Structure 1
């Protein structure tokens, strides 16, 4: 199985650095687009051409001699094209200075004898030496100045502007990265300390963390860990109580089995032997029933339901009532089913069977002889509703909050065989199915009704 090396594992710091790199690339792309559009904007370029021409015209308009005007034009051309060469701009700025008489006083050497043409105060297009130019002509009292500026190709603009932006961003990147790196490292330090404190704890130490978080963002994490520890403490305490109660409940039938086994072995006559055998069988049956319910409780005590399947719940209920019928007939109980002929529904069948079996067993055991039990089954929206009602002695109001606890038996149920696990199993199975169970009044103003609502 392939495992990543420690240095290759993703880290939060590395992810932040990568996010910052991506952010810089996006910023570079946006600025590149802006500068490219600006450089290709004809109106923007024409305005720069007008401004440059107006500035130069104002410099030479006050000159009276041709040599002075020529010197200014020559100096300007040299300075401007040296700058263009330094930044590798293709082409050159071409200047042409004429006297009002038509005499040419100066032409940029880069023009190589090409005469610049244009109309006064207007900008036109020209192609010279394979390059596109924008040409502007301005006139004063003595001089006529024509300026031609090259229009750079799109590829050159992208590479030139992009390289300049890359240089700026490379300078800015470490300046931005350093404070972010420091902030992340300092921000993660409490997490490292928290992980060390948790790792240093013993396997049985589940007390709350004394987290003094200097950052408000860490408070939810500390609270969530403390809540998890509290749940674990309650779960472990519950399991301890369960084992203790199970051992206590099993001790009685096992003690009876031991006593009756000795009595059976020492019985002086057949009558006492039969009595000992009956008591031994009863104790074994009680222990077997308790063990079966403990196993059923362990299966039902889970966080999620097992794989569900689509079944006819009405037929499933009829089968369970048929299994409970002999015990009900032995106590002369009237057992009824109120359900449609068919009721297809998708659910965890073993969990549903555990619910119905235990509710039926409780009703049969605790309803007086000659009583009545009604099982109803119906669709509740997109879910399912199951109810088991009887007209038995009912459950005292003070005990209704306790009946779903493990090994709890009501004040009126100690003479009836049972382990006190039936309703606890019902509660756990209903929880597995993400449903809810509630207790209400029973039939004929007596007894009780257990209603179970199961979602889709």
Structure 2
């Protein structure tokens, strides 16, 4: 199964991203709602406790120094509820002795002011209980004496919890309805918002393989325009790569058509010849044509690799330009000597550039090959490496041949261009285009100028360290 098959849809992902935070918020809200409900329940039921305290206070009297307590029914009827809470009460004197009721725990902390009701939570008989306590003086009218008593009354908290749960359930049901409505609205909004994306997907899917023109994005939402622009840039790069491939195939057909025809003709003639010497003559032509075709194919492959649309990016590091040029000049020295050409090298000292050694050697080899090929037998070719005052490096190949007319000096960098000076000279017309592409990859500039005294000077200028690109 593909990755796309296992990945949830965008609509489902958006729904999950919205649902999970909503569930978290709903849980937090449920906890807060329950706390608020319990607080409200305490407030309501505490009033009942306080009313019971006041009712009990009416039934306490002091006569002849003795406390008489008559707990009115009203004090306990206030708790008559279907929830059935357990009610506890206590009346005790100032010494803490129970006069009537249960031995309930008193309020924590210091003694509160008289007539002030204190509410507190405690545990009695292993049950959580809400208590209310009040201290008040009881006066004996006959003897003008008084005594301080404590009235404590409490109830278990089941009714309060039931009320809080009822409030919580009602609140949650209401919020669940709101959440469901919100999710429905979000779902519809996401579905409506994704319609332009579906239309774009249908538009792209309906295109043919050869339809590489840009996708129109004027009527799309602003959020989708960056995606369409990125798609158009990708399609444009793909179009350029396809064009580069077509150009390579056309160049290969152009370059190999003539050599293959010559090879076929010469091989047929060689097969018909009974004379061994004449066969060898045909084979020499055949061999030269094969060498020419092999070199053309090699240069075509190199040019295709260096094409700007191929995406090739060399690894540049500090390399000795003078060392690369000297090594190539030594490799071409036997060829120059065989043709009677004086091939020399000039260098003022170590010259370092940021580049790739293999490409620099290929650039130098193409320049020397062109100079030897077009300058003619008996000419002089000089490879020169120097460094200018501003830090820029120069690689020059200088010859004293016929040169190139100024009007053609830009045209010779085009593929397969053969100017007036190239007529009758064996060549492919790809050497200088390769030189310009390698120079471009090194941010260098390649140019032609006339040699003083006649001839041609090809100069490749490399930027100074940290300087601006020249290409």
TM range (shorter): 0.5 to 0.7
Conservation of the 8 A alpha-carbon contact between 1:132 and 1:151: yes
Distance 2:100 2:421 in 1: 123
1:129 to 117, 125, 132: 125
TM superposition shift of 1:398: 7.9
- SS of 1:216's equivalent? coil
Identify the residue that residue 76 of structure 2 maps to in structure 1: 74
Change (3 A) 1:279 1:23: same
- SS of 2:396's equivalent? strand
1:173-184 superposed matches below 5 A: 173-184=179-190
2:383 to 373, 376, 381: 373
1:292-311 superposed matches below 5 A: 292-301=298-307, 302-304=310-312
Conservation of the 8 A alpha-carbon contact between 2:439 and 2:460: no
1:34-53 superposed matches below 5 A: none
Q: Using the TM superposition, name which of 202-211 and 142-151 deviates more.
A: 142-151
Identify the residue that residue 13 of structure 1 maps to in structure 2: 11
* Runs of 5+ consecutive residues of structure 1 not aligned to the other structure: 86-91, 153-158
C-alpha RMSD over aligned residues: 6.0
- SS of 1:209's equivalent? coil
Conservation of the 8 A alpha-carbon contact between 1:77 and 1:95: no
Identify the residue that residue 335 of structure 1 maps to in structure 2: 345
> What is the aligned length?
419
TM superposition shift of 1:219: 2.0
TM superposition shift of 1:197: 2.8
Change (3 A) 1:276 1:377: farther
Conservation of the 8 A alpha-carbon contact between 1:391 and 1:448: yes
Conservation of the 8 A alpha-carbon contact between 1:190 and 1:213: no
Identify the residue that residue 201 of structure 2 maps to in structure 1: 195
Conservation of the 8 A alpha-carbon contact between 1:373 and 1:389: yes
Change (3 A) 1:249 1:33: same
Higher helix share: 1
Is 1:420 matched with 2:429?
Answer: yes
1:320 to 301, 306, 328: 328
Which structure has the greater CA radius of gyration? 2
Identify the residue that residue 104 of structure 2 maps to in structure 1: 114
Change (3 A) 1:388 1:54: same
TM superposition shift of 1:203: 2.4
TM-score (norm 1): 0.63
Distance 1:359 1:13 in 2: 61
- SS of 1:436's equivalent? coil
* Runs of 5+ consecutive residues of structure 2 not aligned to the other structure: 61-69, 139-148, 159-164, 467-471
- SS of 1:447's equivalent? strand
Distance 2:128 2:106 in 1: 13
Distance 1:234 1:439 in 2: 24
TM superposition shift of 1:188: 2.6
Distance 1:124 1:141 in 2: 22
Distance 1:206 1:51 in 2: 75
Change (3 A) 1:181 1:119: same
Is 1:205 matched with 2:211?
Answer: yes
Change (3 A) 1:184 1:270: same
Identify the residue that residue 447 of structure 1 maps to in structure 2: 457
Change (3 A) 1:307 1:331: same
Distance 2:349 2:168 in 1: 77
Identify the residue that residue 389 of structure 1 maps to in structure 2: 396
TM superposition shift of 1:249: 3.7
Distance 2:99 2:412 in 1: 114
Identify the residue that residue 236 of structure 1 maps to in structure 2: 242
Conservation of the 8 A alpha-carbon contact between 1:399 and 1:410: no
Distance 2:408 2:55 in 1: 112
Conservation of the 8 A alpha-carbon contact between 2:134 and 2:152: yes
TM superposition shift of 1:438: 1.8
Conservation of the 8 A alpha-carbon contact between 1:97 and 1:106: yes
TM superposition shift of 1:298: 4.0
TM superposition shift of 1:215: 1.6
Q: Using the TM superposition, name which of 287-296 and 230-239 deviates more.
A: 230-239
